[in-house]
A and B are shown apart, each in its own frame.
Chain A
Amino acid sequence: MNKTLKYVIGRVLFIIPIMLILSFFVFVLTYLSPSDPVMLKYAHMGETPDAAVVAAEREALGLNDPLMVQYGRWLWKALHGDLGESYKSGKPVWNTMLERIPNTLKLTGATILLTIVLCVPLGVVSAVNQNRFIDYLIRFISFFGVSMPSFWVGFLLMLLFGVKLKILPVMGSGDFKHIILPSVTLAFWMISLYVRRVRGSMLEEMNKDYLNGGLARGLPKRQIIFRQILPNSLLSVITMFGMSIGGLMGGATIIETIFEWKGVGKMAVDAIAVKDFPVIQGYILWMAVIYVMINLIVDLLYRFLDPRIRLEGR
C-alpha cells in the first residue's frame, strides 16, 4: 500500500517538470519565431506604424526584457487564465477557446464512445473465431483502417453520404447530423487500431496456463471468455488507449479542418494560416495539458485495475 501511495505521489509530481518544460517550449517557440508580434499586430489591422510607435509598444509589452523574465510573466498570466489577445480578432484567446473546447470535446467524446462500443465486441469475436472467415474479414477491414489516412476516409465518406446519397451534411458544426461523419471518420481509425490490439491480447491471454483450471472444471466457454480472458486482456489495452488519445487529438485537428467543425483544432489551423501566435500558444498549451492529464489518469487507473500491483505487499 505504501509503495502504491509513493508511486501515485511520484507520478503526480512528475507532471510538474513536464508542464514547466512544455510551457517553456511553447513560449520559446513564439519567442524565436522570425516575426515580430508588434509588427504582426499592426499588419493585421492593416496599418504601417511609425518606428517610434513600434519601439514604444515593444517596451510597453516588455519585449526587450530578458527571456526568462518574459517567460515568468507569461506563465504567471497563463496560470491566471490570461493567454493574451488574438492578433487577428483582438479578443482574449481564453474566451475563444472556451467557445471552441466544448465542440472538440463533443467530437472526441463521440469518437471514444463509438470506439469502446465497437472495438471490444469485434476484437472478441475475431479472437474467439481465430482463422475463420469472420476473423479474416475483421482483420482485413481493420488492416485497411490503419493504413488509410483518416482524413482521406473522411473525404470518401463525404463523397458517399454527402455528395452521392445526399443524406448527411458534408460540413459545418451544429446539430446531431453534423457530428456523424467526423466522428465516424475518427472512430474508424481508432476502432481498426483497437480491434487488432484487443484481438492480439485476447489470443495471448488464451495461451496462458491458468485457463486450464476453468476448462478442467468444465466452466462454460462463454464464462471463461468474459470473466477471465477479457478483463485480463483489456488491462494492457487500456494503457495503449490512453497513449492514443494524444494521437486522436492530433487527428481531430485535421478532421475538424476538413469538416469545418468549429473546434479548437480548426481554430489553431486558422490561426496558423495568419501567424496568430497567442492563439497557437493557447492551442498547444491546451493540448499539452489534456494529454499529460489523460496519461496521468491512465497510468493511475492501470495501477488500480491490475490486481497484481494493487494487492502488492498486502
Chain B
Amino acid sequence: MNYYVKKALHYPQFMLFFILAIILILIPILAPWLAPNDPIENDYENLMITSSAKYPLGTDQIGRCFLSRLIYGGRTSLLIVFIVIAISAFVGILLGVLAGYLGGKTDMFITRFTDIVMAVPQTVFVIALVSVLGASLGNTILAMSLVSWTEYCRVTRALVMSLKQNPYVEEGRMGGMSELKVILKLLLPNVFPYLLVNITQDIGAKLLTLSGLSLLGLASQPPTPEWGYMLSEGRQFMQAAPRLIVLPGMTIVLNVVVFNLLGDSLRDILDPRFTKKKTQRRQLKLWKEST
C-alpha cells in the first residue's frame, strides 16, 4: 500500500479531491459544533426569512435554521450511502471471488443469479420494496443493497478470473498456501485497488438515487433533516422562496461532483489501463496531423 500512497502524493489533482471529500465527510460528523442552530427547532417568530445574523441562510416554512439543516442533512444521506456501499461491496466481492476462483458450477450458478438480479429495473425495485415494507432507514438500506451488489460481483469475478492465471498464484498454492490464504493474501490485495475506483464512483451514483427516493418520501422520516426530503418540502414554496430548492440541490451536486472527480483521479492512479493514455495521445496526434 505504501507504493500507492507515494504515488498518490505525486498527483496534486487526486490530493485536492481527497481533501475536499474528507471535508465533506467531516461536515456532518462535526455538525453539532458547526451548525449555528438546532436543525429541528422551530422559531415561529422567524418564518421563511431570507437571511439574518442568527440564521445565515434563513429559515424554512416552519422556522427551522436552513444552514443547520443542510449541515445535519449529510448525516442521513452520507450514512445511508456508505452503509449501502459497504454491504453491497462486501456481498458482491465475496460472490465475485467465489465465482471467479472456483469456476465451474459455482460460477455458473452465481453468474445466472447475478443476471437475474440485473434484469430487474433497479429504481423501480427499490421504490416497490420500500413502499411495501414501509419507509424507514433500515428498509431503504436493505432495498438499495439488494440491487447494487451485482456490479461489484461482476467486476470482481472478471478480475479474479484474469488474476488467477498469473504464475504467482500457482506458486503460492504449490508452496503450501491454503485456498483461503491464496484468496486473502494473493488475490484480494490485487483486486482491491480496482474496486476502490468503483466504490468511490458509486458514492455519487448512490447519493443521486437516494435523493430521488427521499423526494418521494421513501428514505428519511421527518423532522430528521435530509437533502432530498428538504427538496420535497421546499417544492411547495418554490415561487416564494426559490432558495429552499436551490440550496439543498446545490449541496447534493457538490457532494456528487467531488466524489465523482475523486473516483476519476483515483482511476488515473490505480488503473494501469489508463496510464496508457500517453501512447494513446501520441496516436491521436498522428491522426490529426495526417489530415
Contacts and interface: CB of A to CB of B under 8 A. Distances in A.
B195 interface: no
B239 to A, nearest CB: 5
B238 A158 contact: yes
Interface string B63-102: 0000000000000000000000000000000000000000
Given A33-B133, A155-B245, A155-B249, A215 B290 contact: yes
Contacts of A291: 119-121, 124
A207 interface: yes
A301 interface: no
Interface in A156-177: 156, 158-159, 163
Interface in B176-231: 204, 208, 211-212, 215-218, 228, 231
A149 B211 contact: yes
Given A130-B284, A147-B260, A207-B284, A249 B132 contact: no
Interface residues of B, number: 44
Contacts of A18: 116, 119
A65 B246 CA distance: 52
Interface string B221-260: 0000000100100010011001001100100110011001
Given A250-B127, A291-B119, A277 B132 contact: yes
Nearest to A220: B291
Contacts of A203: 280, 284
Interface stretch (A89-97, A113-121, A231-239, A252-260): A252-260
A212 B239 CA distance: 58
B233 to A, nearest CB: 12
Contacts of A272: 127, 131, 216, 218
Interface centre among B134, B212, B215 (most CB of A within 10 A): B212
Majority-rule SS of B interface residues: helix
Interface in A276-290: 277, 280, 283-284, 287-288
Given A253-B124, A254-B216, A149 B252 contact: yes
A19 B291 CA distance: 52
A98 interface: no
Interface residues of A, number: 55
B231 to A, nearest CB: 7
Nearest to A287: B124
Interface string B127-169: 1110111100000000000000000000000000000000000
B3 interface: no
A40 interface: no
Contacts of A22: 119-120
Nearest to B250: A152
Nearest to A30: B132
Given A29-B132, A148-B249, A221-B291, A250 B238 contact: no
Given A147-B256, A247-B123, A250-B122, A29 B129 contact: yes
Nearest to B256: A147
Contact of B122 (A29, A246, A257): A246
Interface string A117-130: 00000000000001
Given A33-B133, A155-B235, A249-B121, A149 B208 contact: yes
Contacts of A156: 246, 249
A152 B119 contact: no
A159 B238 contact: yes
B239 A250 contact: no
B33 interface: no
Majority-rule SS of A interface residues: helix
B127 A253 contact: yes
Nearest to A146: B260
A251 B120 contact: no
Contacts of A277: 132
Contacts of A66: none
A211 B287 contact: yes
Nearest to A33: B132
Nearest to A250: B123
A247 B121 CA distance: 7
Nearest to B282: A207
B231 A151 contact: yes
B283 interface: yes
Contacts of A151: 211-212, 215, 231
Contacts of B123: 246-247, 249-251, 253
Interface centre among B124, B127, B134, B253 (most CB of A within 10 A): B124
Contacts of A280: 128, 131-132
B124 A284 contact: yes
A149 B238 contact: no
A17 interface: yes
A21 interface: yes
Interface in A200-218: 203, 206-207, 211, 215
Nearest to B257: A147
A144 interface: yes
Nearest to A18: B119
A34 interface: yes
Q: Which 6 A-B pairs have the closest CB atoms?
A: A250-B123, A272-B131, A152-B249, A246-B121, A291-B121, A221-B291
Given A151-B211, A292-B119, 4 more contacts: A148-B256, A151-B215, A247-B122, A254-B212
18 contacts: A14-B115, A18-B119, A143-B257, A147-B257, A149-B212, A150-B212, A151-B212, A152-B249, A152-B252, A159-B246, A163-B238, A215-B290, A246-B122, A246-B123, A253-B123, A253-B127, A254-B215, A277-B132
